Structure 1
Amino acid sequence: MVASVKTFKRNGILRSITTTLSNDIPVTIVFVQHRTKKREWLAILSTDVTLEAEEIIRLYGIRWDIETFFKCTKSLLQLGKEFQGRSFDMLISHTTIVFARYIILSWQHRQHGDARTLGGLFLAMCDELAELDWVVALTQLLEILNGVVEKANKRVAKFIKCQLSQWMAALPNYIKAYLPISICES
């Protein structure tokens, strides 16, 4: 028995149907159009009928990333096949090594053009960083350290200048371009 049908014209959502299965479990089924093959679609079923169609799709995307992770670790990175230990500590160690491999491979993939980010964590960090202009913050920090150098005795001032020079030398060039390098000269 179909309780409600919603038709959408955005985000590739074709329809959303809320119904009850034969065992009296209420479900929502969201039909989503394939991104590149417009004639193909995917049906996503959710037992939480309070969720909107967009939220069901978002949660499915997260779950799909987890499924991809496990498939990759089991088939490509040999989780469960590469090592045949029976000790709990050995299993934990092996799983940790396989997951570390996955993290490194994912990081390399993202460094070479993957536009995906860390989802909500990324957006939260972007909002937080937008409030703080890091160039202004670093400049203010350098000004504070220069004030300390002017008021400190010669030995402490020399130590601070030396440490600051080493720190500035280790900074990436894209950060150095924004900072007044003359502040760190001895």
Structure 2
Amino acid sequence: SKKVELLARLYDHAKKEFSYGFRMLTLCWSDGNTLLPVSHTLLSTENTKNRLREASRKVDARSNGGKQRKLAQQKATEVMLQLLQEAKAADIPARHVLFDTWFCSPASLLKIHGLGYDVVAMAKKTEKIHYLHQGCLQDVKAIYKQHRKRRGRSKYLLSVEAAVVKGEESLPVRLVFVRNRNHRKDWLVLVTTDMSLTAEEVIRIYGKRWGIEVFFKVCKSFLRLEKDCRSLSYDAMTAHVSIVFTRYMFLAVEQRECKDARSLGELFYLSVDELPDVCFVEAMRLLLLLFVERLQEKPMLDEGKIHEQLQGFLKELPVLLSQKLRKCA
């Protein structure tokens, strides 16, 4: 219905067309295994020309509903900072903030770092955003062309240190260039403000962002995020999204307790201690003992026979270990 409160005309970048609705900006927390939604806002648009319906005048601007309506009419970058500030005020423990190219700008990186968080994000491949590298401001394409890339099957192509600059403020960052899995000749670039992270750690941590895509898929396909609410009130739609997120939290906690062995607490560590990994020295000792036993089965001095026994010994080993030993030889 076009009479929905704060309904906006928005551009769908996936379908390449305009449609009516809201953008759901969501802040989630994750420890790398379980993802939980923390806060959200149904964004309308700050452009009054694209808003089909204005906010209800019956709602007091000082109430929570009034504040939420005001937030819905702000820019997404401003709302993102507001959600992070609320999470920090609630003492939700977090070290890194992950997001894609939508929020990756020098101003956002500086403001998020000012809140006490480090950023791991996908940088924009555009000539409009510049990084201070080797004494001059350059875009990521120019930085990529200047350096020699890693060859072979490396997880990343290039890792360089740079800085983001906004006015008189600057912040050191690390740029990690990786291959695009969908187009092997193309590349993507990750940026982080945590200089203690290696390139491999940056890639690993950013990979955890995929959890929010799974979260959206579950909410839309199984929890009826887009279908259960037919109200015209902005408050009702906000409440509906909160209920859907609560349902997902129940499912996430249940999955963690039933399938993740780490939820057993101290029992998990006790079970790990009962099955310690075989150290390298002990593994080599066991391999040598096995080979000696093979030789003792048929005592021989002929070099050709010994070579035949060695080949038979290697065939009995696991494929991966056998390949490694053959390469060493």
Q: TM class, shorter-chain normalised?
A: 0.3 to 0.5
TM-score, normalisation: structure 1: 0.44
TM-score, normalisation: structure 2: 0.28
Q: Which has the higher strand share?
A: 2
Q: Which has the higher helix share?
A: 1
State the structure with bigger RCO (CA 8 A, min sep 6), 1 or 2. Answer: 2
